Amino acid sequence: QHGGEIPGIEDGAEKVRVHAGFHRNVRATLLPVMGQLAVALQGRSLLDHDTRVEHPLEALYVTGHSLGGAMALLLALTLSGSSIHRSIAHRLRAVYTFGQPMTIAGPLPHATDAIERKVFRYVTARDPIPALPPKSWGPFVHVGQEYRLADGRWQRSESPVAQLSSMREIPRAVLAFFASEKRRASSRYTLADHGPHHYIAALQPQNRVTEFGD
């Protein structure tokens, strides 16, 4: 699954090796995304490009769940690795991901430290997806700051989620999804903890009503 490469910061010589499949998804969507960001940077409406807005793009926050989280991280690295996108990269404030799988194949070069400090990953303890790809696919690592749900509270984790040793845990996680709540509680992993609605519910502040009236 290795094979994707992103140039280092400011078109530097150091390359960032990444998951090839996730990288292909980013490349397939990069042009339209960058086109819309360029429109916003010029102070034009995304709904009607001929209409001027009061303020051009001032700050950029990138976010995603699961595959979307992996793509959010790779988009941020792509922006920072190209002088063409420098004006947009300078407006990147943070990357927030939820249930994101591992994306980087090895340590990031020091030139990417500024981006890594802007990455905030949220994972639940029994979500198996952040532990993928497994070690049998090659070494992958998490980057950025990790916050893990424990005892109903999000806490900063001193160490990132580790890779699964093999794919054998995944069928068990799938079975746990369909098991009773009592049996599911005894499973190390369950896909029930990976759904976006699960993360939304876990992140919702207490005594606050959502836009859905919950």
Are the C-beta atoms of residues 57 and 91 closer than 8 Å to each other? yes
186-213 tens-digit pLDDT: 567 778 888 898 898 888 877 777 666 6
- Signed CA dihedral, 79, 31, 141, 95: sign only: positive
Please report which confidence band the pLDDT of residue 172 belongs to, taking 50, 70 and 90 as the band edges.
low
Residue 17 is predicted with a pLDDT of 81
Q: 157 is written with which tokens? A: 């984790």
Tell the residue number behind the tokens 């989280």, with chain if given. 69
Residue 5 has pLDDT above 50, yes or no: yes
- Give residue-wise pLDDT tens across range 38-95: 999 999 999 999 999 999 999 999 999 999 999 999 999 888 877 778 889 899 999 9
Q: How far is CA 193 from CA 53, 59, 66, in A?
A: 41, 31, 12
